[in-house]
Amino acid sequence: MNQDRAALSRYDATYQAAARDADKVPWAEGRPKPLLADWLEAADIRGDGRRALVVGSGLGDDAEALAARGFAVTAFDLSPTAIAWTHERFPDSAVSYHVADLFDLPADWQGAFDLVVEIYTFQSLPPTIRPEAMDRVAALVAPGGELLVICRGREEHEPAPGPPYPLSRAELRRLESGGLAEREAVDRLDDETPPVRRFRLLYRRG
């Protein structure tokens, strides 16, 4: 398992090798992820000062979209290069960006956020450490708070080569063992060539 965690350093290496060219970062889009943007717009989501956390914030586009909606946003990424690059992209940002490890987060983040947004982090993790990652993300959601997950999707019987590793709905049910209840599910093909199946799942803590 330690080897699997150590392998995550490849993500910082990708950001370093990109040399501030976002086109060389495969998962960077230069805009909020479409399934997040659609959710914010369709439901007319307003933060009204509520606390939001973005897991694996990359180059910051998703965190900035939440801040623009009125959330008090904290965001973190394991990659120091990504966080430094984000500060350069958004020098006047109201978002509080941190270099942090999902498996070793500050104690005062536990149960502290009204909205937690996890996009493409679970799918980037080896299966051996993904269940623990799900438990740790679920633990960040405050009572009455919500967790939004966006990831590649598959049927349970289908292979899951990766990274990125597509997830089945059965795997994602682990989040419900952490005291969350699924409230909304979207399953659709995106507009990539070839199309990629993606899930968007919304959970709420009672």
What's the pLDDT tens digit per position in 6-18?
666 789 999 999 9
Has residue 144 got a pLDDT over 90? yes
Distance, in Å, from the CA atom of 165 to the CA atom of 172, rounded to the nearest integer, reads 13
Distance, in Å, from the CA atom of 191 to the CA atom of 62, rounded to the nearest integer, reads 19
Confidence band (pLDDT; 50, 70, 90) for 26? very high
**Which CATH number goes with the domain that contains 114?**
3.40.50.150
Determine the pLDDT at residue 1: 47
**Structural domain that includes position 79:** 2-205
Determine the pLDDT at residue 10: 87
Q: Please, which residues bridge with residue 165 across strands?
A: none
Has residue 2 got a pLDDT over 60? no
Q: Kindly report the pTM of this predicted structure.
A: 0.95
Distance, in Å, from the CA atom of 121 to the CA atom of 58, rounded to the nearest integer, reads 10
- Other beta carbons within 10 Å of 7: 13
174 touches 135 (CB < 8 A)? yes
How many structural domains compose the chain? 1
* Average of per-residue pLDDT across 66-94: 98
